[in-house]
């Protein structure tokens, strides 16, 4: 800003003196045609303003209709969102096998899926991990980290690649559940892109009822065209071996409870012992039974714990191995196979299950969240509710804070204008033009399929200042003319005539400046389009409709404070042709 001011005050006058010469006033066909066209437009513009001053009620009715139309589009047609999905050059593939699948079966499915992924011309490399995913660590889980080629080297975006992978890979794999997701736009808010909700058991229905509700929610979401990839973000209930200790039996056989648990941990899970040096490297010593001796529950009969039955002593002390005999763990450990979830999750104090997914192409994240809320309300039994987390929660909060932010922005502009004009009424004429620019931005977003996200809201705040700038150019001249004693009607008409060219020049120059944002591509293109589309549409609306409504708004406000408006009667039906100070003798 400082550099721009320096150029305007120093180099611009010298540049004008160099370029603007007397011979430039000679006839030029292009400039002549431009001036003729501009004078025609200016003449009809002034005629329209004069008509509007005579019939202000009609224009106010049209302004109210614009308000209603813009509000209808904003709340019912323009979908809501937080931040647009971006092409970050990566995608994630998740593989979830049936519960209880072995790691060998998971690797076989991942091998087939990986081969299909590598056939895509957009894929640069694939890194796959079996036994792990963001949903949890289990032999039935797997994950792909898919790196795409540079944007200029591929024909499709990350979103288009994910859509292709859903149709050509996920839909053809029968041995496991495969889905693909985009990376989150804001790191740290969630593991995946899309929405993030928690299905809560608020009625204390129990684990089985919560699981049935989760299955119903996922099935109904799969039939919806608004959302895709809806799934439980966790490991499904799977067969597990449940071990229970018969404490009375262990006590009678001289076994301490801690010794039994330590023996089970030592045999079935790796236990860290210590470190040792080998060829200059520090290595760890871990103890665990060899794989063939821990494959099933029969292994418990081969694990022994020393017992100690002290004569006459009713207690067994942990670590006391002075007694005789070794007791197999199978004598005190009972085992049975159960189907149970690997983890028990809670959210906001309720038993809950995390559900994640994304919006389908052509729909926004706000529409996807509304669809999930609808399914929960209509298809789930009473006692279940949802809470949002991560990026979805921030989207809800951002939507709730937007009216306060817009109101604060307009209030600050109003205070600045009140100090400038030393009046509380005149700034209202300027601020009344702000909704015209906002409505133009909303129409542009609706027409191009953009969503009402954070970047679009930033563009709306920009429109507040730009639309006010156009009104200021007219109101400022009208106020100065009235201060010189000019009548209200003559002051407004003179301001409209003199300031039409600067308003159109600055507005269309700004619109041309943001066109690269409107048609941008590559990384971060969606955010740039969201800002550019709203700003360009708002400026176009403020330039075309604003120059019509600004004189009417100013006259209406001045009439309210007591100024008189005397409109001369038209002498003829021909459009008024005002004197143009820019015309030369050759015209």
Output 71 or 219, whichever has higher pLDDT: 219
76-98 average pLDDT score: 82
The two structure tokens encoding residue 229 = 């990839």
Does pLDDT of 475 surpass 50?
Answer: yes
C-alpha dihedral (56, 58, 62, 67), degrees to nearest 10: 60
Q: State the chain's mean pLDDT as an integer.
A: 81
Q: What is the pLDDT of residue 273?
A: 87
Superfamily name with CATH number, domain 90-236+344-394: Multidrug efflux transporter AcrB pore domain (3.30.70.1440)
Q: What is the pLDDT of residue 282?
A: 92
Conformational region of residue 562, where left means phi above 0, alpha means psi within -120 to 50, and beta covers everything else:
left
Q: What pLDDT, in 10s, does the model give residues 404-439?
A: 888 888 888 888 888 887 778 888 888 888 888 888
CA-closest candidate to residue 527, choices 32, 84, 10: 84
Beta carbons of 482 and 421 less than 8 angstroms apart:
no
Beta carbons of 531 and 460 less than 8 angstroms apart:
no
Beta carbons of 462 and 535 less than 8 angstroms apart:
yes
E-state strands within 329-424: 333-340, 346-347, 350-359, 384-388
Beta carbons of 300 and 329 less than 8 angstroms apart:
yes
Q: What pLDDT, in 10s, does the model give residues 318-340?
A: 444 444 568 888 888 888 888 87
CA-closest candidate to residue 546, choices 431, 419, 414: 431
The CATH code of domain 43-80+401-560 reads 1.20.1640.10
Q: What pLDDT, in 10s, does the model give residues 156-201?
A: 888 888 888 888 888 777 888 888 888 887 777 777 777 888 999 8
DSSP string, 38-84: HHHHHHHHHHHHHHHHHTHHHHHHHHHHHHHHHHHIIIIIS-B-SS-
CA-closest candidate to residue 492, choices 444, 564, 419: 564
Residue range(s) occupied by CATH 1.20.1640.10 in the chain: 43-80+401-560
3-state helix, strand, coil in the chain (%, to 5): 55, 20, 30
Q: What is the pLDDT of residue 414?
A: 86
Backbone angles phi, psi at 452, to 5 degrees: -85, 80
Element (DSSP H or E) covering residue 390: helix 390-421
Report for 208-212, 281-285, 448-452: range of highest mean pLDDT: 281-285
Beta carbons of 557 and 426 less than 8 angstroms apart:
yes
CA-closest candidate to residue 545, choices 462, 437, 455: 437
**Does 239-340 carry CATH code 3.30.2090.10?**
yes
Residue range(s) occupied by CATH 3.30.2090.10 in the chain: 239-340
494 class by beta-carbon count within 10 Å (0-12 exposed, 13-18 middle, 19+ buried):
middle
417 class by beta-carbon count within 10 Å (0-12 exposed, 13-18 middle, 19+ buried):
buried
Q: What is the pLDDT of residue 99?
A: 83
Instruction: Report the relative pairing of strands 346-347 and 333-340 from DSSP bridges.
Output: unpaired
Output 567 or 93, whichever has higher pLDDT: 93
Q: How confident is the model at residue 312 (pLDDT cuts 50, 70, 90)?
A: very low
The two structure tokens encoding residue 257 = 């409870």
Beta carbons of 194 and 182 less than 8 angstroms apart:
yes
Beta carbons of 175 and 342 less than 8 angstroms apart:
no
C-alpha distances out from residue 241 to 106, 211, 295, 303, 541, Å: 20, 20, 11, 17, 69
Residue 173 contacts by C-beta under 8 Å, 6 or more apart in sequence?
A: 109, 112, 113
The two structure tokens encoding residue 308 = 């100690």
- Residue 167 DSSP code: I
Q: How confident is the model at residue 580 (pLDDT cuts 50, 70, 90)?
A: very low
Beta carbons of 499 and 554 less than 8 angstroms apart:
no
The two structure tokens encoding residue 513 = 């400046």
Q: How confident is the model at residue 309 (pLDDT cuts 50, 70, 90)?
A: low
Residue whose tokens read 């006010």: 468
Residue range(s) occupied by CATH 3.30.70.1440 in the chain: 90-236+344-394
DSSP string, 408-430: HHHHHHHHHHHHHHT-SSHHHHH
- The angle at the Cα of 318, spanning 317 to 323, to the nearest 5 degrees, equals 65
Q: What is the pLDDT of residue 75?
A: 65
């Amino acid at each position: 800003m400082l550099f721009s001011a320096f150029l305007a005050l120093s180099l611009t006058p010298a540049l004008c003196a160099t370029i603007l010469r007397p011979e430039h006033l000679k006839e030029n066909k292009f400039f002549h045609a431009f001036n003729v066209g501009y004078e025609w437009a200016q003449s009809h513009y002034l005629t329209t303003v004069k008509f509007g001053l005579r019939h202000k009620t009609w224009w106010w009715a049209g302004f109210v209709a614009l308000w209603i139309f813009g509000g209808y589009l904003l709340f019912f047609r323009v979908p809501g969102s937080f931040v647009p999905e971006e092409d970050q050059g990566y995608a994630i593939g998740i593989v979830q096998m049936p519960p209880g699948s072995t790691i060998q079966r998971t690797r076989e499915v991942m091998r087939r899926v990986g081969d299909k992924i590598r056939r895509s011309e957009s894929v640069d490399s694939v890194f796959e991990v079996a036994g792990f995913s963001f949903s949890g660590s289990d032999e039935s889980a797997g994950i792909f980290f898919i790196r795409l080629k540079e944007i200029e080297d591929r024909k499709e975006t990350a979103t288009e690649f994910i859509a292709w992978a859903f149709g050509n890979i996920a839909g053809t794999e029968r041995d496991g559940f495969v889905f693909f997701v985009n990376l989150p736009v804001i790191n740290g808010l969630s593991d995946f892109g899309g929405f993030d909700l928690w299905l809560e058991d608020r009625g204390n229905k129990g684990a089985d009822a919560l699981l049935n509700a989760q299955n119903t929610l996922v099935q109904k979401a799969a039939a919806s065209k608004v959302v895709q990839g809806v799934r439980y973000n966790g490991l499904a209930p799977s067969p597990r071996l449940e071990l229970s200790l018969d404490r009375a039996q262990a006590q009678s056989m001289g076994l301490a409870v801690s010794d039994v648990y330590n023996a089970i941990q030592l045999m079935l899970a790796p236990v860290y012992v210590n470190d040792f040096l080998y060829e200059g490297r520090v290595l760890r010593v871990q103890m665990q039974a060899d794989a063939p001796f821990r494959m099933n529950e029969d292994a418990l009969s081969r694990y022994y714990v020393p017992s100690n039955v002290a004569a006459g002593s009713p207690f067994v002390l942990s670590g006391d191995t002075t007694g005789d005999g070794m007791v197999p763990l199978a004598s005190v450990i009972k085992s049975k196979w159960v189907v149970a979830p690997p983890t028990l999750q809670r959210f906001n104090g309720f038993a809950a299950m995390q559900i994640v997914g994304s919006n389908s192409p052509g729909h926004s994240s706000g529409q996807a969240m509304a669809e999930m809320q609808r399914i929960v309300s209509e298809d789930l039994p009473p006692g279940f509710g949802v809470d949002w987390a991560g990026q979805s929660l921030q989207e809800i909060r951002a939507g709730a804070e937007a009216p306060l932010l817009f109101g604060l922005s307009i209030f600050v502009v109003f205070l600045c204008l009140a100090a400038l004009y030393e009046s509380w009424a005149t700034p209202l004429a300027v601020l009344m033009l702000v909704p015209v620019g906002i409505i133009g931005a909303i129409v542009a977003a609706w027409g191009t399929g953009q969503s009402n996200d954070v970047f679009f809201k930033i563009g709306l705040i920009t429109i507040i200042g730009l639309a006010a700038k156009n009104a200021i150019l007219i109101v400022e001249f009208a106020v100065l003319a009235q201060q010189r004693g000019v009548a209200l009607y003559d002051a407004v008409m003179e301001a409209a005539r003199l300031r039409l060219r600067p308003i159109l020049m600055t507005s269309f120059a700004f619109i041309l400046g943001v066109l690269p944002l409107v048609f941008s591509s590559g990384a971060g293109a969606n955010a740039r389009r969201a800002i550019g589309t709203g700003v360009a549409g708002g400026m176009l609306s403020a330039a075309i409709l604003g120059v019509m409504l600004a004189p009417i708004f100013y006259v209406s406000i001045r009439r309210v404070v007591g100024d008189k408006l005397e409109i001369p009667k038209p002498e003829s039906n021909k459009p008024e042709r005002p004197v143009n100070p820019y015309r030369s003798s050759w015209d």
